[in-house]
Amino acid sequence: MILVTGATGTIGRPLLDLLISEGIKVRATTRSPETAGLPGEVAVVEGDPARPSTLTSSLEGVTSLFLHPRAVGLAAPDLLALAKKSGVRRVVVLSAVNVDDPLEEQPSRLNGDRNKEVEAAAVASGLEWVSLRASAFAINTLTAWGGQIRAGDIVRGPYANFSEAPIHERDLAAVAVRALLSDDLVGQKPALTGPRSLTHAELITTIGQVLGRPLRFQEIPPEAVRQAMIGQGLAESFVEALLNRYARGAGKPAPVTDEVEKILGRPARGWAEWVADHADAFRG
Ligand SMILES: NC(=O)c1ccc[n+]([C@@H]2O[C@H](COP(=O)([O-])OP(=O)(O)OC[C@H]3O[C@@H](n4cnc5c(N)ncnc54)[C@H](OP(=O)(O)O)[C@@H]3O)[C@@H](O)[C@H]2O)c1
pLDDT band at residue 12 under the 50/70/90 scheme: very high
Query: Distance, CA 75 to ligand 1 centroid (Å)?
Result: 15
Q: What are the pLDDT digits (tens) for 224-257?
A: 999 999 999 999 999 999 999 999 999 999 999 9
Full domain range(s) for residue 54: 2-136+168-193+255-269
Ligand 1 pocket, mutate which of 8, 11, 32, 70 (most atoms under 8 A from CB): 70
Sign of the alpha-carbon dihedral angle for 73, 77, 83, 87: positive
Residues 271, 207: Cα–Cα separation, whole Å: 9
Query: Distance, CA 123 to ligand 1 centroid (Å)?
Result: 20
Residues 160, 1: Cα–Cα separation, whole Å: 46
Query: Distance, CA 78 to ligand 1 centroid (Å)?
Result: 19
Residue 18 lies in a domain: yes
Residue 233 lies in a domain: no
105 pLDDT above the threshold of 80:
no
Residue 92 lies in a domain: yes
Residue 279 lies in a domain: no
Query: Distance, CA 71 to ligand 1 centroid (Å)?
Result: 6
Residues 55, 36: Cα–Cα separation, whole Å: 17
Residue 14 lies in a domain: yes
Query: Distance, CA 196 to ligand 1 centroid (Å)?
Result: 25
CA distances from 41 to 83, 166, 174, 217, 238 (A): 23, 30, 18, 43, 39
Residues with CB under 6 A from ligand 1: 6, 8-12, 30-32, 36, 48, 50, 68-71, 94, 96, 108, 113, 115, 134, 136-137, 140
Give residues with Cβ within 8 angstroms of 203, minimum separation 6: 141, 164, 166, 217, 271
% of the chain with per-residue pLDDT over 90: 95
Considering its fold, how many domains does the chain have in total?
Answer: 1
Residue 158 lies in a domain: no
Residue 202 lies in a domain: no
Q: What are the pLDDT digits (tens) for 126-148?
A: 999 999 999 999 999 999 999 99
Question: What global pTM score does this model have?
Answer: 0.96
CA-closest residue to ligand 1 atom 26:
71
Q: Give φ, ψ of 102 to 5 degrees.
A: -55, 140
Using an 8 Å Cβ cutoff, are 24 and 6 in contact? no
CA-closest residue to ligand 1 atom 23:
6
E strand or H helix that includes residue 231: helix 222-231
- CATH assignment of the domain containing 26: 3.40.50.720
Residue 243 lies in a domain: no
